[in-house]
Amino acid sequence: MQLGKSDRKAKQEKWAKEEQETQREKAEEYLIPLTHPLSSITKQNILKKHEDIDYSKRKFQNPMLVYVTPWNPKGYDLAKWVSHKVTHVSPVWLQVKPQTADMSFSCRILGTHDIDHEWMDEVRKNNSEVKIVPRVLFDGWETEQLTRTQFDGAVVELWTSAILQTEGEAAQLLVEMLDSWGLGFHKRKLELIVPVGPPLSEDK
């Protein structure tokens, strides 16, 4: 199928209109007054106020995920106090270790002793909509177990490690595997979150 001159002209006009709209939105953003002007962001201010907490109502409307680590007890309290400002809380509890027994491959889930249902209830008291999605290292986590433990999904960290080990060659396989996992999670109304870092280089 070939595009006529009128078709190409219509597309060009559409692109030009979209570009103008984008530029207009950017210009409007510059007019919005900053809550924290750039001049206030200094090393001294960061050191002085890095522990200050804003308990006001949530302003950021996009999804927001926060991690909670067992080695930082203060983080457990913060998650309860600010749960109304976030959409997902990811406790760093679980690790999946591969193991081979009787010529068959399986894995072990470690860290279940850290699961704290009382804390989970406290987090949900301040925000009944917040999702608790434990970080899972590395793979093989069964969705049935997520359901039994009353989680809302899982944060699975494997992308960066796999890409580094395979020098980027595993990307397509990872996408296919995660797509399959996602279908299984979604069938059980669970969320699958996969943190992906910036590209390692221009070609990866």
pLDDT single digits (tens) 159-182: 665 555 556 566 676 777 778 878
Beta-strand (E) ranges in 102-194?
Answer: 104-110, 131-132, 135-137, 153-156, 191-193
Question: 3-state class of 95 per DSSP?
Answer: strand
- pLDDT over 50 (residue 202): yes
Provide the pLDDT confidence category of residue 141 given band limits of 50, 70 and 90.
Answer: very low
Domain ranges across the chain: 52-193
| Segment (H or E) for 173 | helix 171-187
pLDDT single digits (tens) 80-129: 888 888 888 988 888 877 666 665 656 677 888 888 899 899 989 888 88
How far apart CA 62 and CA 148 sit, in angstroms, is 29
Provide the pLDDT confidence category of residue 140 given band limits of 50, 70 and 90.
Answer: very low
Indicate the pTM of the whole model.
0.50
Contacts of 106 (CB under 8 A, 6+ apart): 98, 99, 100
Q: Calculate the average pLDDT of the chain.
A: 75
How far apart CA 181 and CA 183 sit, in angstroms, is 5
Which CATH entry fits the domain spanning 52-193: 2.10.60.10, 3.40.50.620, 3.90.1150.10, 3.20.20.80?
3.20.20.80
Q: Which of 135, 128, 134 is nearest to 151 (CA)?
A: 134
